[in-house]
Chain A
């Protein structure tokens, strides 16, 4: 009997031994199938996110800004956003992706991906191991498009179109690509994951997108000077209805911007999605609250401006913070940005026409710093068990965030000034007085936004 039992026990083992190569093959197939399934899931979310981020520029930002200007400038203002969807795309394909994400040195990428050489279906494990590098490339392109478009809020209603084109091309090359490389590129000076000297947390572009664009916006409006008649002539927004639609499209698109920055469809994307939404909601309330107290009425423009300010501030923090700190960051941004545009701007008298600095510069700076306070390993485990922000006990991170912020400010100020000087010599930057009076729609583009007789 014992022998029989022993034999019975041995049989499966024998069978296993005989079929080992087949089993191994099966396991390998399963392994590949699991990887393919994850890749398909991640890729689906990343392509969706790419489309969402493009939607932020057109029509989101184009409508938001377009409604805030006077009616004679609505098309010119929308064009400032739209043209970048075309121009930056070409720039990105030729050299931009490589300068931002090629390994290069700590400050700028090399030319290994020039003309998208080698950027295909195979993932780039340094950045996103589960999606084609081509997906990563097109996703990052959408950020390069919206960033210079944000600046246009500061020079709206008075910049010459040729000057604007040259300016944004040079700005993308000399400010955006280096900054993106420093923060997100392999070996970048501020990269927190891939060997940066000063690890700075910027999940979706607080320094790269909002500080660079917002601070450059301030430089632009100081350099260009005020619009004719500002601030004595009334310059009311001509259509807050389209601004409202644009702002809500921005809010939705921002889920692609922030949750997409998880570069996959896992729980980190969820957490960033939640933080993003909470930040926007709290900021809308923060802005409306102070506005109501100060001016006596809560305005729709205040509500949507607050939401955008919150989205800006939560951007660097979105993949690092828990939901309640996200509410706090948003609420603070709503209040701070209100005071920036309603008081500080008027006190100093600069004509930041659509408040690109007041919202993106100030909100981005606040968000970058607060990321260092509220970042926690409970949310983001990419750095293993290391404490992340001040609430994890790593106060030094706040200093790192300040360094990252200072570099972004410095690069934006110096870069923008130099570029404006160049543009002034080559094309000129400011529309002449007559063109400005006629409006940019007719003088720059030869058409009108509202042809009521048609």
Chain B
């Protein structure tokens, strides 16, 4: 099993969700986060006091999928999240040791 963690532009969340749904991926956890890579921040001014805001609002998606489906999911995700501009985000892929469904003790792929 692979855990796929993607940090994307908030306004691309809906596109990504739709694209994943189309290939049968429904389960995911979404968090509002802040961060930046190579993207530059912006300036905010409050009553003349300037702030450089370099941590920008992003959305983080996390999902765990069977290993054999991971490439397909990654391709779909990347394609649907891409705008081609700096700040589109990144995808991180991890090996997952086990998954347990709390409701009924299901384990491994059947718990996904």
Contacts and interface: CB of A to CB of B under 8 A. Distances in A.
Contacts of A341: 47-48
Interface in A302-327: 302, 305
B46 A346 contact: no
A295 B45 contact: yes
A381 interface: no
B51 A301 contact: no
A346 B48 contact: yes
A236 B48 contact: no
Contact of B45 (A231, A234, A299, A343): A299
A237 interface: yes
B46 A301 contact: yes
B44 interface: yes
A301 B47 contact: yes
Interface residues of B, number: 7
B47 A343 contact: no
Contacts of B45: 295, 297, 299
Contacts of A441: none
B51 A302 contact: no
A202 interface: no
A299 B47 CA distance: 9
A173 B89 CA distance: 60
B49 interface: yes
Interface in B31-53: 44-49, 51
A234 B44 CA distance: 11
B48 A237 contact: no
B47 A305 contact: yes
A355 B47 contact: yes
Contacts of A346: 48-49
A342 interface: yes
Contacts of B44: 236
Interface string A230-270: 01001011000000000000000000000000000000000
Interface in A279-314: 294-295, 297, 299, 301-302, 305
Contacts of A302: 47
B15 to A, nearest CB: 28
B48 A342 contact: yes
A340 to B, nearest CB: 10
Interface string A339-362: 001110110000000010000000
B48 A343 contact: yes
Nearest to A358: B47
B25 to A, nearest CB: 29
B47 A234 contact: no
Nearest to A346: B48
B48 A295 contact: yes
B43 to A, nearest CB: 9
A342 B51 contact: no
Contacts of A236: 44, 46, 51
A234 B51 contact: yes
A275 to B, nearest CB: 26
B68 to A, nearest CB: 38
A338 B46 CA distance: 11
Nearest to A337: B47
Nearest to B44: A236
Interface of B: 44-49, 51
Closest 10 pairs (CB-CB, A-B): A342-B48, A341-B47, A295-B45, A234-B51, A301-B46, A342-B47, A237-B46, A236-B46, A341-B48, A236-B51
9 contacts: A236-B44, A295-B45, A301-B46, A305-B47, A338-B48, A341-B47, A342-B48, A345-B48, A346-B49
